[in-house]
Each structure stands twice: as C-alpha cells, then as structure tokens.
Structure 1
Amino acid sequence: MLRKLLSHAAIYGLAAQIPRIAGVLALPIITPHLTTTDYGVAGVVTAYVTALGVVQSLGLSVVMANAYVKHPTRYKWVWRQLHGFFILWSVVYNAVLAAVLFLGIPAEAVEDRWEIIILQVVPAFFLNHTIFFGGFLYRIQQRPFPVAVQSFVVGALTIGLNIYFIACLQLGYMGWFYSGFIGGCASFTIYVYPVYWQEKLWPILNFKWYRLKSSLRVSLPSIPHHLSVFLLDVSDRLVMDVLRVPVQRIGLYNIASSFGLYFSAASYAVVQAASPMYMQIYASTAAYDSQLKIRRVTFTLQGLFLVTTSLLSLWMKEIFQLLIKNDVLQQAYPLAIIILMGYNYKPMHLVVESRLFYQERTEQLWKISFVAGVGNVILNLLLIPLFGIEAAAFTTFVSLMYTGYSGFLLKSFKQSQLINFYPVVSLALTVALLLGIYFIADRGILFKVMISIVVLVAGVIFFVLINKKRCKVNTQ
C-alpha cells in the first residue's frame, strides 16, 4: 500500500510540481518587473475568489466519493444529477462572485475592475464544473496519470504565459489574471472529451429534488470544513484589506505565504493519492488492521513532511536571495519560515478526515477545521493592529496545528480509535523544529550545512525504524 501511495503521489506530484518548480525558477525573471502593489492586488482578488470557490460545489464531492465506493454500478446516475444541479447553482454563484469582486477589488486596480471580473466569472460559469468532474473521476478511480498530464500541460502553459505577460509585456498583476484564464480554458479542453464522450457524464437537469435534498444533508455540513482551507490559507489578506493595511505590506506578506502555498500544493498530491486508498482500506479491511496500516503510512508521511519543511525553512533566507530579485520582497523570508512549517499538519489531519468522511460524520468536521479558520480570522483581527503582518504568520501556524491535531480529541473519532497515533509527540516535534530553525536561519553556511546533515540522518533513522517495525508485525 505504501509503495502504491508514494508512486501515485509521485505521479500526481511530479507532473504537477515540474511546472511549479519552473514557476519558482521563473521568479528571478518576473520579480524585477513586479512591486508589492502587484502582489497585494493579486493576493486580495485571489482571496475573494478562493473564499467563494469553497461554496461552488456545496461540498457534494463527499456524496460523489461515497456513491462511487458504495454503489460502483450506478454512481454515474448520481453524478449526472449532481452535475445538472451544479450548472443551475452556478447562475446564483457567479452573480454573487461578480458583486463581491466589484466591491472588493482594491482601489489600486479599479481601472481594471471589469476586466478582472470577466476573467474570473467566465471560467467559474462555463468551465469549472467540467474540470471538477474530470479531475475527481480520475482521482477516485486511482488513475493519477491523466490528472498528472493535465496538471503538467496547464501548469507549464500558465508559467510560460506569466513570463510573457509580466516580463515581456510589463502587465503587472494583470499578467497573472490573463494566464489563469487561459490556463482554465486549456484545462477544460483537456477534460471535455473524457467527461462527456468517454464517461457519458452529461448533466441531468431534470434531477430528483428529494434525492438532491438527501445529498445536501450530507454535503452541506462539510462546507465549513472546506471553507477552512480559505480561512487558513488566504483569509489573512482579506483581514489586512479590511483593516486597511497598505497594499504594499499585504504584498510583502503575500510573497512570504506563497512559499507555504507552494509546499501545500505539492503536498496535496499526497492527499490526492492517499484519500481514496484510505477509503478503500476502511471499506475492505477489519477495523484494527485498517488503522494499523494507516498509522504506518501516516508516520512515514509525517516524517517525510518534517524533514522536507525543516530543510527548506533552514535555507529560506538563501532561497529568497537566489529567487527573489527584489530587495524589498527579500525581507519576507522569516514569515515564510513560520508559514511553511505550519503545513506539516496534513498527514495527521488526513487520518481523522478520512475516517469521518467514510463514516459520513461530516457534521463533526466543522469542529476541527472551521473552528481553526474562524480562530485564525479572530486572532488576526486582534493581533495585526498591534503587531503588524508578522502576527498573521504566527496565527496561521497555530491555526494549522489546531487543524492537524484537534480531531484526535473528538468523541466520534475516539470511539472508533483502536490504535494510538501519538499526536502529542508529533505536535511537540513540529513546534520544536520551528523554534529551532527560526532562530538559526541567519547563521552561517557551514553551520547550516551541519544542521542539514543532522536532519537528514535523523530522517533516515526514523524511516528505517518504521520499516523494521513493519517487518516485525508482518512476521507475527
């Protein structure tokens, strides 16, 4: 199972991350042509679009996943009805999206307001539902290669367009919006044939309302959970906008948080690969054995995450100096360290999330992620006026840790828990690594090389011990 998970994650991740790596390598080309205002405008607009994007699918992916796992012979009939509902719902959704963008676009971009709105609303209405169904189908079928091809093609195209629009045409923040629009069109083009002609997932507009209501009773409670992604990842920019933080300062924070989001996007490949596997393990394996398998995979992933983020954070200052050819933007690297280390929460959170999804206990998810997201917003409202944008980085880390570990305290989770996942140990180790790395990030190169070797050796020892323990279990 572990080998299959890592191979699928590698396929998802490698193809998706090659363009992202190219995007990181393109930073020296585009950052000389960008300002903190460009990053600020892009950050605020992206935050509004992301916030509303959470409710576009109304959480019905939960229903789609369970229909596929539990009713493999008739899931398409369920999906087609949901597809029809998505299209009708998009009319309301896009009207709200256009209104919010009209009011929320910063004054620095007011002359481009309508163009930005069109570039965001058109894909949301005409393209996104097809992209969603195509990508979700391949992931639930554990067919990572088509998703990887789509990610690679669209990602490479978008990065190339970013360079063209920003570095060559000097379009600033509009370069990102043009590139995103064209990338969405390309993604739709890739998925339209398999969704409608191969899989015959044509929407049924005359769907059964009583069945839809039943589906919404399961899906709607998961919306606060999905909303937490926005509240944790990008709501900081909206809070700063509300608090009238200068757009230039928002841009500085945006460049720092982007490095955390780079890793978050990369780690999403692991989640894409692991989620359907976890669901199938719960469906086909005895409770104790399933939890034992999942714990071994989770420990391996957690170790991999900690080693990777620790090394990246340790060298974040040098990474910024290498990639960000802008003296003002380079000053954001300490914030990037804090935010990046927060994304170590994902493997432990996946343990709780996957079990609650399988048990259709979605009404419990808000107690984890939504509470963390709301807490993040409240803390930002209280602390940013006192301590500036630095406070947002620390509140993001705290909120991400709550997301990763609070689920182990839920009664509904503890009642079905047969195996100890040692969440307290993992949490303490993450906090200790953050504190240690944050205070030595400015040390000399030789010292940091030595620390890097120590981290790598510790990681290798941990993986060897995990595999050795696995062998003992298998031989008993």
Structure 2
Amino acid sequence: MFRKLLSHAAIYGLAAQVPRLAGILALPVITPYLTTVDYGVGGVITAYVVALNTLISLGLSVVMVNSFAKHPHHYKWVWRQLHGFLSVWAVANGVLLTAVLWWAIPEEAMVNRWELLALNVLPVVLFGVTEYQGTLLFLISQRPVPVAIRSFVVGVATVGLNIYTIAYLRMGYMGWFYANAAGALIGFVYYSYPMYLKEKMWPIFNFKWPRIRQSLKISLPIIPHHFSFFLLDTSDRLVLDLLKVPVPRIGLYNIASSFGLYFMAASNAVVQAASPFYLQYYSKSGKDIEAARQARSMTFALQLLFLGVTFILCLWLKELFILLIRNSELQQAYPLAIILMMGYNYKPMYLGAVNLLSYREHTGVLWKISTVAGVGNVILNLILIPYFGIEAAAITTFVALMYMGYSGYALKEYKQIAEVNYHPWLWLLVNIMALLAVYLLKDVDLEYKAILTAFLGAGASIGYLYFGKRLAWSS
C-alpha cells in the first residue's frame, strides 16, 4: 500500500517538482543580479495577489466535486453555469485586486506601477477560471498525467523566462512578473483544448441565479478555511509591509520563506496521494481496528520521512545557501529559512486528525484548527514584529504551523471518534526538539555534519521501514 501511495505521489508531484528543482538550480544564475529590494518588492506584491486569489473560486470547488460524484452524466451543466458566474466574478475580483495593488505597490516599484498592474491582474481575469476548473476536473476524474504535463511545461517555461529576463535582460523583480504572466498564458492555452473543444465546457453566462445562490450557501463557509493557509504561508510579508518594515528586510525574509515554500510544495504531492488511502482506511475503521492502526502507521511513517528530510536539509542549509545564492547579502537569511522549513513538518499529523474529522463529517470544527492558526499567526506578528523584527515572523509561523498540525487531536469531536492513540504531544515535542537541535548545529564543522547526516539517515530509514511494513507494501 505504501509503495502505491508513493507512486501516486510521484505521478502527482514529479512533473511539478522538476521545474521547482530547476528553479532552485537557477538561483546561482539569477541571484547575482537580484537584491534584497528585488526580493522585497516581489514578496510584497505576491502576498497581496495570493491573498486576493483565495477568493477567485469562492469555495465552489466543493459544489463542483459533489456534482461530479453525484451526477456523473449531468455535472457539466452545473460546471458550465459556475464557469460563467466565476468568469463574471473574476472581473470584479480583478477590479478589487487593481485597487489593492494601486495602494500596496512599494515606493521602490512605483516607476513600473502600470506594468505590474497589467501583469498581475490580467492573468487572473482572463485565465484564472479555466486553469482552476481544468485542474480540478483532471484531478477528480483521476487523470493526473495532464495536470503533471501542464505543471512541467509551465514550470520549465517560467524558469527559463526568469533566467532570460533577470540574468540576461537585467530586469530585476520585473523578470518574475513577466515570467509568471507568460506561464499563466501557456497554462490557459494548454487547458483550452481539453476544456472547450474536447469536454465542451464552455461557460454559460445566462446562469440560473437560484442555482448560484444555493451553491454559494454551501461554498462560502469554506473560504475562511482556505484563506487560513494564506495566513500561514504568505501573510507574513503582507504584515511586514503594513508595519512599514524596510523593503530590504522584507526581501531577506522572502528569500528565507521561499525555501520553506519549496518544501511545502513538494509535500503537497504526498498529501494529494495520501488522502485516498486515508479514506480507504477510515471506511473500514469502526468495523476493523486494524484499519485504524494502518492509518496511524502511515501517518507515523510520513512523519518520520518529513522529519528526516527537513532535518538533514536544514543541517546543510548554510552550505546550500552559499552554493545556490551567489549574493552575500541574501545568504544571511539561512537561519530564518531553517525555522520556517522545520515548521512544515506539521503536515503528516495534521492529515491524521483532519482526514478523520472530514470523513466523519465534522467539517464544522475545522475552523478551530485552520482559521485559529492563521489568525493567531497574524495577531502574533502584529504584536511581536515591531519589537523583534523579521525573526519574530519566522518563530510565530513555526508556532502557528505546530498548532495547525496538533490542535485537532485536542478537539472533543476528534476524541469521540478516535479509535487509536496517535501520541500527538510526544510527536509535538519531537518536532520542537528537532528544530532546536538543528538550529544549534547549523554552524558546526562539515565533518560533524556528515557523520550526523549518516546517523540520522540510517535511523529515519529504520523507523520508516518499520511502519511501512505494517501497511502491506506489496498490495
């Protein structure tokens, strides 16, 4: 079973991660031509764009998924109406995004204000809905290959354009935005044929308002849950901007957080692949206690995998920064990157609790996990950043991510349906101790790092194999 999970993760994630790997390998090429101001401007504008983009779907994916599952022969009529409505909403969202960016673009980038508005707003308005529905359709119909190909093509094109615009044309932060806009256009063209010509998913603009209102009643309550991930992953840069932290300091934080987000993006492939297996185990639990134990074993195996990978990466992060980032000013961000990257170890334990709550239809309590974590992160940032600077933003993000991963086990709704003990507080202690240990070891001599890496790799592999054998690997 675990081999199957990992193979699915490879299908979902490999094509997406190859361009990201190329992007990391491109850092030595582009970073000599970038400054902390470039990273600061890019981080601030991206934070606002991501924040507004969480509203582009209005949570209607749950309606689309339900219609696909319950009405497999008639779902296209629902999707086409929602496509028409979301296309209209995209224009309104574009107006809102324009107003926000007009105010939020840093002073250092005012000379390029109109170009930045066009490059960030037009792709959302023109291409966003097609990309969103196309990806969702292929995923729920269990056709991951088109999504993987799209991710690969767009990712490689974007990385290539980043190198061309930044390293050769010397466009600085503008190179990112031109490359991202071109990538959005390529993705739209890629999905246009299967969506409009093959599946006939043309939008219906004469949509039925009763249908739209009924759909929004279901979808709008989900928005806070989705928005909470922005509050955890991206809002730090927005708060830093609101608190008038100098753009170069925001740039340092942005380069550090990008390494955490690299790992988060890679882990999402495992999440996509693991979710169906959790559902399979939970469908048998209650009748077969062994199924609940297998779900726990899968969670523990994933947790060991995440901890082992992040610890070893963070142990060598100083050397990786020196190797990849050919800019002495930007290299100083590696201690912040360690804190942020170790925070993303929350994901396996988060899956163990949230998937069970969702399967047992306790979705009404998910806000106590995600929304509280996201809002708490913002509040702590507003309180602590003025006194402790960007270091506080990294620490509060780690704390919020740990809350995200482990608070579900404290909910009474979870305790009522749990069949096995996941020992969450022991794992939380292990997460915290792992962060403290790797942070203290970050500057030790290379020979000690090599010995420790070999020791940790062997230990993590033994534990990983122990739990993996309990999941019927060959099935």
Letter of the 1:275 counterpart: S
Query: Cα gap change, 1:357/1:138 in structure 2, threshold over 3 Å: closer, same or farther?
Result: farther
Aligned to 2:209: 209
* Correspondence 1:37-436 to 2 at 5 A: 37-279=37-279, 282=282, 285-287=284-286, 289=288, 291-359=292-360, 361-436=362-437
Cα distance, 1:210 vs. partner? 3.1
Letter of the 2:58 counterpart: L
RMSD of aligned C-alpha atoms? 2.0
Alpha-carbon contact 2:36-2:251 (below 8 Å) kept? yes
Alpha-carbon contact 1:67-1:75 (below 8 Å) kept? yes
Q: Which range is displaced more, 445-454 or 357-366?
A: 357-366
Q: Which range is displaced more, 273-282 or 239-248?
A: 273-282
Q: What SS is found at the alignment partner of 1:415?
A: helix
Aligned to 1:462: 463
Q: Which range is displaced more, 353-362 or 411-420?
A: 353-362
Alpha-carbon contact 1:218-1:360 (below 8 Å) kept? no
Aligned to 2:30: 30
Query: Cα gap change, 1:213/1:278 in structure 2, threshold over 3 Å: closer, same or farther?
Result: farther
Cα distance, 1:382 vs. partner? 1.0
Cα distance, 1:166 vs. partner? 0.3
Alpha-carbon contact 2:301-2:468 (below 8 Å) kept? no
Query: Cα gap change, 1:194/1:297 in structure 2, threshold over 3 Å: closer, same or farther?
Result: farther
Q: Which range is displaced more, 178-187 or 458-467?
A: 458-467
Letter of the 1:90 counterpart: A
Distance 2:202 2:359 in 1: 27
Alpha-carbon contact 1:221-1:366 (below 8 Å) kept? no
Alpha-carbon contact 1:65-1:140 (below 8 Å) kept? yes
Distance 2:157 2:256 in 1: 24
Letter of the 1:305 counterpart: F
Letter of the 2:300 counterpart: F
Which aligned segments of 4 or more residues in structure 1 are displaced greater than 6 angstroms? none
Cα distance, 1:79 vs. partner? 2.3
Letter of the 1:430 counterpart: N
Cα distance, 1:235 vs. partner? 0.9
Q: Which range is displaced more, 50-59 or 138-147?
A: 138-147
Q: Which runs of 5+ in 2 are unaligned?
A: none
Q: Which range is displaced more, 267-276 or 32-41?
A: 267-276
Distance 1:30 1:277 in 2: 41
Query: Cα gap change, 1:215/1:54 in structure 2, threshold over 3 Å: closer, same or farther?
Result: same
CA deviation profile, 1:209-267 (whole Å, cap 9, x unmatched): 33333332332222111111111111111111111110000001100111001111111
Distance 1:215 1:279 in 2: 25
Q: What SS is found at the alignment partner of 1:202?
A: coil
Q: What SS is found at the alignment partner of 1:200?
A: coil
Q: Which range is displaced more, 387-396 or 343-352?
A: 343-352
Give me the TM-score of the superposition, normalised by structure 2: 0.94
Cα distance, 1:97 vs. partner? 0.6
Cα distance, 1:272 vs. partner? 2.3
Alpha-carbon contact 1:219-1:362 (below 8 Å) kept? no
Alpha-carbon contact 2:298-2:471 (below 8 Å) kept? no
Alpha-carbon contact 2:298-2:467 (below 8 Å) kept? no
CA deviation profile, 1:270-296 (whole Å, cap 9, x unmatched): 1222334545665x5454555444333
Distance 2:70 2:361 in 1: 12
Aligned to 2:440: 439
Letter of the 1:58 counterpart: L
Cα distance, 1:27 vs. partner? 0.6
CA deviation profile, 1:153-212 (whole Å, cap 9, x unmatched): 110000000000000000000000000000000011111111122223222333333333
Distance 1:215 1:382 in 2: 38
Cα distance, 1:142 vs. partner? 2.5
Aligned to 2:452: 451
Cα distance, 1:358 vs. partner? 4.2
CA deviation profile, 1:52-95 (whole Å, cap 9, x unmatched): 11111111222223333444443333322322221121122111
Alpha-carbon contact 1:139-1:273 (below 8 Å) kept? no
Give me the TM-score of the superposition, normalised by structure 1: 0.94
Distance 1:423 1:314 in 2: 25
Distance 2:206 2:280 in 1: 32
Distance 1:47 1:111 in 2: 20
Q: Which range is displaced more, 289-298 or 197-206?
A: 289-298
CA deviation profile, 1:120-178 (whole Å, cap 9, x unmatched): 11111110111111111122222221111111111000000000000000000000000
Cα distance, 1:24 vs. partner? 0.6
Cα distance, 1:328 vs. partner? 0.7
Query: Cα gap change, 1:115/1:361 in structure 2, threshold over 3 Å: closer, same or farther?
Result: farther
Alpha-carbon contact 1:260-1:340 (below 8 Å) kept? yes
Cα distance, 1:308 vs. partner? 0.8
Letter of the 1:401 counterpart: M
Cα distance, 1:359 vs. partner? 4.9
CA deviation profile, 1:332-382 (whole Å, cap 9, x unmatched): 100000000001111222233334444554432221111111111111111
Q: Which runs of 5+ in 1 are unaligned?
A: none
Letter of the 1:142 counterpart: Q
Alpha-carbon contact 2:2-2:472 (below 8 Å) kept? no
Distance 1:470 1:270 in 2: 16
Alpha-carbon contact 1:69-1:280 (below 8 Å) kept? no
CA deviation profile, 1:286-340 (whole Å, cap 9, x unmatched): 5455544433322222221111111100100000010111111111100000000
Alpha-carbon contact 2:317-2:334 (below 8 Å) kept? yes
Query: Cα gap change, 1:298/1:196 in structure 2, threshold over 3 Å: closer, same or farther?
Result: farther
Letter of the 1:48 counterpart: Y
Distance 1:187 1:243 in 2: 36
Query: Cα gap change, 1:127/1:94 in structure 2, threshold over 3 Å: closer, same or farther?
Result: same
Distance 2:273 2:107 in 1: 42
Query: Cα gap change, 1:137/1:352 in structure 2, threshold over 3 Å: closer, same or farther?
Result: farther
Letter of the 1:88 counterpart: V
Distance 2:154 2:170 in 1: 22
Q: Which range is displaced more, 397-406 or 346-355?
A: 346-355
